[in-house]
């Protein structure tokens, strides 16, 4: 089986390229402080863990979100983009939360 030709046009994932550069720098003995995708080296503060546990214990906390989230969440993201990037988005037509997307 041969992969489709269009797959050859896909570029390497950004963080994979960045990681290769970091590995190269570290192999040269350089100290690299990573501020990219996040790799926590300390646990969250105890009050954060307690808040997460309290939230997880609530019976209404379990289940999947709607495929397009809530209107309030989409609106908040649209406002965030407007504030940070000056980009105006229609929260009902141009904002879609997707887990694990980049």
CA dihedral 56, 77, 73, 15 (to 10 degrees): -40
Q: What is the pLDDT of residues 58-97, one digit of tens each?
A: 988 877 777 788 899 999 999 999 999 999 999 999 998 8
Query: What does the pLDDT look like over 48-61, one tens digit per residue?
Result: 999 999 999 998 88
pTM metric for this prediction: 0.42
Look over the chain and give the mean of its residue pLDDT values, rounded to a whole number: 88
> Can you tell me the distance from the alpha carbon of 89 to that of 82, in angstroms, rounded to the nearest whole number?
7
pLDDT at 22 > cutoff 80: yes
Q: Is the pLDDT of residue 13 over 70?
A: yes
- Residue 95 near residue 77, CB atoms below 8 Å: yes
């Amino acid at each position: 089986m041969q992969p489709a030709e269009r797959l050859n046009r896909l570029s390497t994932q950004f963080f994979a390229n960045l990681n290769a550069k970091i590995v190269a720098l570290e192999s040269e003995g350089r100290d690299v402080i990573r501020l990219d995708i996040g790799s926590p080296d300390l646990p969250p503060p105890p009050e954060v863990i307690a808040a997460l546990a309290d939230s997880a214990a609530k019976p209404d906390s379990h289940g999947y979100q709607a495929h397009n989230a809530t209107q309030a969440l989409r609106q908040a993201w649209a406002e965030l983009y407007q504030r940070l990037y000056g980009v105006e988005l229609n929260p009902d037509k141009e904002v879609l939360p997707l887990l694990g997307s980049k």
